[in-house]
Amino acid sequence: MVESQLIVARRWSARSPLAWIAALALALVETGCLTEKSEPATASGKTPVLVAVEPIADLVERVGGDRVVVFALTPQGKDPETYAPTPGDLKSIVASKVFFRVGLPVEERFANNIASLAPSAKSVDLRAELEPLPDAHSRGESDDDFDDDSIDAHVWTSPANARAMVPKIADALAELDPDFAESYRSAAAKLDEELRALQEETSERLVPWNGRAFFVFHPAYGYYAREFHLEQVAIEFEGKAPRPKDLQKLVERAKREGVRALIVQPEFNRSAAEALAAEAGAALVEHSPLQKDYFANVRSLTDAIVGSFGEKTPVENEENDNER
């Protein structure tokens, strides 16, 4: 009975993830895996933590150390907009004591179910007090024309945002595990210094390219672009490949700016990016914003962006235009 429920539910998971998670819950209840008396599936003494993606998990682990066990709703390599959890995922969700949120679709789709399955879990919105950007998929008439439901959730791509999130993580863990509060806050202070150094390192590399545009398939790097004074140009629009006339405009701009490479994410289909790259004479460089190691994530993104630029900086291009 349980097995058949899961088979049927998985067939519908892509179209109805809420039905999938409900079927999982029912199946686990019937097998005795989900009851009020169930023990959390974590090592003794560790605080079970729920996050949406691996980079946030990395920040939590750097603050919590061996006092936490962190589960990410979306594994690296999966699309947060379509991923459906497995029975094992659901058991980790039930065990969680705190849920650090950034507003990704995978969180919003399952928010009510998570609240029902793990009612004792503390919900912490890591976007609080951050300056939001509009979601490039649902932008209005202007960059200021957006509401809370259309905020870009890729907040972690900016080291400045990460620094603002770390104290929130430490405070939440200290509240749940007060005996180790000082340890969490000390680790957070150390992490803040490391993130500050990462900011300085990244800024020094990008200063010569101030104002330059980099081309990506999926618009996941808006906060990074804002922090380091760059422009993100997305090939995808409203979650879809560009229309032929829009693709042609992107090709013309890429050629005009001497773009060497387009950045693509492994979680998404790259056919539109391949078409643009072929027309513009550019290469494709892969980068995943879901890569777990936060510092490696930012550094590899910076490598990809710097490598995508042509020989000349924006200042040199402007000087050449003035001479013509």
Categorize the per-residue pLDDT at 269 as very low, low, confident or very high, splitting at 50, 70 and 90.
confident
Cβ atoms 61, 47 nearer than 8 A = no
Q: What is the pLDDT of residue 140?
A: 43
Q: Which comes out higher in pLDDT, residue 230 or 270?
A: 230
Cβ atoms 312, 320 nearer than 8 A = yes
- Beta-carbon count within 10 A of 36 CB: 4
Tell me the CA distances in angstroms from 316 to 203, 233, 249, one per residue in order.
19, 21, 23
* Digit-coded pLDDT (tens) for 193-219: 999 999 999 999 999 999 999 999 999
Q: 160 is written with which tokens?
A: 């400045």
Single-letter amino acid, residue 283: A
The listed CATH number (3.40.50.1980, 3.40.50.2300, 3.80.10.10, 3.40.640.10) that belongs to domain 2-126+150-201: 3.40.50.1980
β 98-101/122-125 pair status: parallel
Q: Which residues pair with 124 in a beta bridge?
A: 100
* pLDDT exceeds cutoff 70 at 252: yes
Q: Residue range 247-271: average pLDDT?
A: 93
> What's this model's pTM, rounded to 2 decimal places?
0.83
* pLDDT exceeds cutoff 70 at 296: yes
Q: Residue range 293-297: average pLDDT?
A: 98
Categorize the per-residue pLDDT at 53 as very low, low, confident or very high, splitting at 50, 70 and 90.
very high
Residue carrying the six token digits 């980079």: 55
Same CATH fold assignment for domains 2-126+150-201 and 210-323: yes
- Write down the CATH superfamily of domain 210-323: Nitrogenase molybdenum iron protein domain (3.40.50.1980)
Q: What is the pLDDT of residue 324?
A: 43
Percent pLDDT > 70 in the chain is 77
* Digit-coded pLDDT (tens) for 137-183: 654 444 454 445 679 999 999 999 999 999 999 999 999 999 999 99
State the distance between the two ends of the chain, measured CA to CA, in whole angstroms: 76
Q: What is the pLDDT of residue 12?
A: 37
- Beta-carbon count within 10 A of 32 CB: 9
C-alpha–C-alpha distance, residues 314 and 284, integer Å: 22
Q: What is the pLDDT of residue 18?
A: 47
Domain residue extents for the chain: 2-126+150-201, 210-323
Q: What is the mean pLDDT of the chain?
A: 83
Q: Which residues pair with 66 in a beta bridge?
A: none
